[in-house]
Amino acid sequence: INAEYGADLERRGFFEPSNSHVTFRIFELIFLFCLGCFFISTNIYLSLVFFMLFSGRCGWVQHEGGHNSLTGNMKVDKLLQNLTIGFGLLTDGSMWNSMHNKHHTTPQKVNFDIDLDTTPLVAFYDTAIEKNRNRTWSKWWLRYQAWTFLPVTSGIFVMLFWIFYLHPRKVIRDRNVGQIFILAFGHLFRTWLFYHFGGYSWLQSYGLLMITMWGTGVYLFGHFSLSHTFTPVVESDQNVNWVQYAIEHSIDIDPQNPMINWVMGYLNCQVIHHLFPTMPQYKQPAVSKELVQLAKKWGMKYEIMGYWKAWYLMFKNLNDVGHVYFSGKQKSS
């Protein structure tokens, strides 16, 4: 299904990049950034919203750059990734790629998919504590993890850990001078904008920058979690093929809805993305229509659901797993 269908899609041009699409996405980022700048002196709340959107949209662009599916030129894609993730998210492309490649290799596989190695801050399945690395955990924290996942875990803990430790450590170890400069510029330039145009102190200005990073973390990690986290896990001693990983352990979210495609940066086509990670993502909604029929032919369950149902199931899973650990009724490891 993957090789034959992939070859057919390639013959039909689905892997060909679009310079106009890439240009549009870059100008969208510039436009959002300019709106953030414009409102600093007149409406700081709108300014923060636009800067959050700017950084969040940088997250979608850098993700696609990391997969070399933007321009088709690996050097250009990696440059765009490092610029958008460095300036927009204050983090590093090579660190992201290292982690994200592990996820793509074995999505939802225990002890292999890094996106499941999230304890003790969050447990996505009911043996996560037992099967991840040994760490101190709180049943009270997990009991309310559905409430803390977005505002605290995603917006504060993960973002601060990435921005101030994990990613800077990587660029320093790699002696990546170019990325160090991009990160430093990302920290300083927006802080200076708040200081110069808003009349805030340097400390207040940097605090405003961190508020935008909080909103970005909520936006990105919230949406990243929608397509996998409540699907079944693959045990560490089980082996499934590439197609099963993509179709049975991911879901697509309303891929024919242009607004959802925009909000989620086309990562609502997660199944298609895992099957064909180097395909330009704006072409994946069209592939989704075809995969519906192909999955029926091969007897596989290709699941498509609505945006709000995905949010409901994600939070329900967090709540259910938290209740299991709070009540002590988790499965035997």
Tell me which residue has tokens 């699409």: 21
Averaged pLDDT for residues 63-88: 96
- Residues 87-120 have pLDDT tens digits of 999 999 999 999 999 899 899 999 999 999 999 9
Output the pTM of the full model.
0.94
Residue 24 Cα distances to 34, 43, 102, 282, angstroms: 15, 27, 30, 12
* Consecutive H or E run containing 305: strand 304-305
Examine residue 277 and say whether the peptide bond preceding it is cis (omega within 30 degrees of 0): no
Q: Is the pLDDT score of 267 beyond 50?
A: yes
Residue type, 122: V
* CB-CB neighbours of 87 under 10 Å: 21
Closest CA to 263 of 231, 235, 224: 224
Report the distance separating Cα 316 and Cα 322, nearest Å: 10
pLDDT digits (tens, 9 = 90+) for 122-156: 999 999 999 887 889 999 999 999 999 999 999 99
The pLDDT tens digits of the residues spanning 275-284 come to: 999 999 999 9
Burial 159-195 (b: 16+ CB within 10 A, else e): beebbeeebbebbeeeebeebbebbeebbeebbebbb
Give, rounded to a whole angstrom, the gap between the first and last alpha carbons of the chain: 34
Q: Calculate ∠ Cα 14-18-22, nearest 5°.
A: 130
Beta bridge partners of 234: 109
Average pLDDT, the chain: 94
pLDDT digits (tens, 9 = 90+) for 189-221: 999 999 999 999 999 999 999 999 999 999 999
Are 55 and 89 in contact by the 8 Å Cβ rule? The answer is yes
Q: What is the DSSP string of 27-72?
A: HHHHHHHHHHHHTTTT-HHHHHHHHHHHHHHHHHHHHHHHTT-SSS
C-alpha–C-alpha distance, residues 85 and 98, integer Å: 14
Give the rounded percent of residues in the chain with a pLDDT score beyond 70. Answer: 98
